[in-house]
Amino acid sequence: MTGWVILVESLKDFPNAETPHKVITTRDYLTRQQLFAGGRPKLINLTRNYAYQSAGYYASLLAEARGHRILPTVESMLELSRRNLYAHALPDLEDRLNKTAQKLDQAPEESFVLFTAFGKADDPRFDSLARLVFDYFRCPAVEITVEVGPWLTIRKLKPRTIDRLSTLEADFFRTALHNHTRREWRTPRTREPADYTLAVLHDPKEEMAPSDLGTIKRLARIAEKMKIEVEPVTRKDINRIAEFDALFIRETTSIDNHTYQFARRAAQEGIPAIDDPLSIIRCTNKVYLNELLRTHNVPTPKTVMLAQAKDLDAAADQLGFPMVIKIPDGSFSRGVHKVDDMAALKARTAEMFNDSDLLLAQEFMPTDLDWRVGVLGGEPLFVCQYYMAKKHWQIIHHKGDGKHIEGAHKTFAVEDAPAHVVSIAQKAASLIGDGLYGVDIKETGGGAYVIEVNDNPNLDHGVEDAVLKDELWVRLLEWFLDRLK
């Protein structure tokens, strides 16, 4: 069983008639281990007591030991039991509270209590705060006591149990629970229940996403045959990550946006993820990546670090013109510029230093194409040639009107690609981690040089899978299965 199950102390606390989900008693869950043999249910613990060593506490404790997913976790129960244990979250919560209050037509004049359930507040004006509380603690129902003053402060957070809800609160809670457990997009129902669930983070509006929606749906069809349920999620679903067994990020990653937060949450929950937070940190910053590759003797273009204007002369002396200037965290050819002389170098870097204290200057290596080797779990997965955009020196030509042009591509069987290109890609990827990476390589008369390692390389149906076809997606899914099993 992989569906939702509600644990209650007494069946009258939350009758089966009030929910489409299975309702069982805590006692049955604790004593009848065979109930979910071979399955991974998603449990919502609605017992009357979350105190240490209570039946509710042991239900969550044993759920974790059995590999079941449960709300709230023992950690959340313990954190919400004492202020000094949840104090770490208060600065962030109070900041959100005050920013919300500032937008209200009339600020609160008296202290008040908010009742929240599954990231929703009984006063919908404070839904943003409720989501953040649920994101921190993932407790089904939490009461927030707010003191009014020049700065609104949270005096107390405490869990609310099902037996202590008023009629209005109970109605609100049931609605919130129903909305929380309702799935937005499913693969067709399989004949056998799925063993695992894979969340795929994507942005339907991202123009240059690492995988398009059609590709994600193809992944879902293949995953279905392997008893894995794929569900696309978006940035608003971060508080649901604990409900899934694994995470696959298919948005352009960045340290300062929600993609890194998703990766961090997956790591906190102990679920396998592509990308993991350490890979994002290592790959998204070209300054770090260049230093890492150089330290481990991986061939890269000649590079000069630019920290201030006086470094420009050294770059010109060592690299000559033309040269390439990069911001540390650009992606898809953004933030990468070619300059042809010292005047252009000074003008371009003066502009770029407004956004970053460090820049990279690299020797210009003109080639007709770049190699990309996809490496998964240390083994080559695909090899592609990406050709430069027409009449341009990059694979993607970003135009001033916001449009872009991409060059052609060609996919190779790994065994048909140059062995030295594949080998150097594997070495570079091994320095990052054990996940999925796209290693970009330029090949010249002087050899093969790693340009960068991408933590979320493109995987699009008809391009990267042109040789392996469905086998590429099977191998990707097996990476997750190996770590889940």
The answer to whether 178 and 19 are in contact (CB under 8 A) is yes
Condensed to tens digits (0 to 9), the pLDDT of residues 160-175 reads 999 999 999 999 999 9
Question: What CATH number is attached to the domain comprising 173?
Answer: 3.30.470
154 CA to centre of own chain: 29
Asked whether residue 286 is assigned to any structural domain, the reply reads: no
Question: What 3 state SS string does 26-73 have?
Answer: HHHHHHCHHHHCCCCCEEEECCCCCCCCCHHHHHHHHHHHCCCEEECC
- Is it the case that residue 187 has pLDDT exceeding 50? no
One domain for residues 209 and 134: no
Report, as an integer, the average pLDDT of 445-453.
91
**Mean per-residue pLDDT of the chain:** 88
Q: Which pLDDT score is estimated for 239?
A: 81
In a domain, 111, yes or no: yes
Residues 401 and 325 in one domain: no
Residue 308 CA to residue 305 CA, distance in Å, equals 9
Pair 359, 370 in one domain: no
Length of the chain: 485
Which one of 346, 363, 380 terminates a domain? 363
Q: Is residue 398 located within the same domain as residue 479?
A: yes
> Is residue 189 included in any domain, yes or no?
no
Cβ atoms of 215 and 263 within 8 Å: the answer is no
**pLDDT by residue (tens digit) across 229-264?**
999 999 999 888 888 999 999 999 988 789 998 998
Residues 371, 478, single domain; the answer is yes
Asked if 38 and 230 count as a contact pair (C-beta separation under 8 A), the reply is: no
Average pLDDT (108-113) is: 91
Q: Which residue has the higher pLDDT, 128 or 185?
A: 128
CA separation, residue 172 to residues 13, 199, 379 (Å): 15, 27, 51
Asked if 129 and 152 sit in the same domain, the reply is: yes
**Of 41, 71, 101, the domain-final residue:** 71
Domain edge (last residue) among 244, 279, 314: 279
Assigned domain for 144 exists:
yes
Q: Which of 282, 264, 242, 249 is nearest to 480 (CA)?
A: 249
| Residue 7: pLDDT over 50 | yes
- Calculate mean pLDDT across residues 369-376: 94
pLDDT of residue 356: 79
| 66 and 146 housed in the same domain | no
Q: What is the DSSP letter of 216?
A: H
- pLDDT, mean of residues 262-285: 90
Q: How is residue 250 written in tokens?
A: 């298919």
As for how many domains the chain has, the answer is 5
pLDDT value at residue 436:
98
State how far the Cα of 82 lies from the Cα of 157, in Å rounded to an integer. Answer: 9
Question: Does residue 355 or residue 323 have the better pLDDT?
Answer: 323
Same domain, 337 and 401: no
Q: Which residue has tokens 């006086």?
A: 310
Question: What span, in angstroms and rounded, lies between the C-alpha atoms of 55 and 164?
Answer: 17
**CATH number for position 393:** 3.30.470.20
pLDDT digits (tens, 9 = 90+) for 30-40: 888 777 776 77
Nearest to 283 by CA among 425, 439, 449: 439
- If 0-12 CB within 10 Å is exposed, 13-18 middle and 19+ buried, where does residue 247 land? buried
Residues 376 and 479 in one domain: yes
Residue 367's pLDDT is what? 85
Residue 269 clears pLDDT 50, i.e. is over it: yes
Find the largest Cα–Cα distance for the chain: 80
Is the residue at 288 inside a domain?
no
138, 157 in Cβ contact below 8 A?
no
Kindly state whether residue 216 falls inside one of the protein's structural domains: yes
Q: Which domain, by its residues, includes 308?
A: 302-363
Q: Does any domain span residue 214?
A: yes
Q: How far apart are the first and last CA of the chain?
A: 16
Say whether both 150 and 167 belong to one domain.
yes
CA–CA gap between residue 365 and residue 369 (Å, rounded): 11
DSSP 438: E
pLDDT band at 332 (very low <50, low <70, confident <90, very high): very low
Is 479 found in the same domain as 378? Answer: yes
The verdict on residue 414 lying in a domain is: yes
Confidence of residue 184 (pLDDT cuts 50, 70, 90): very low
Same-domain check for residues 352 and 452: no
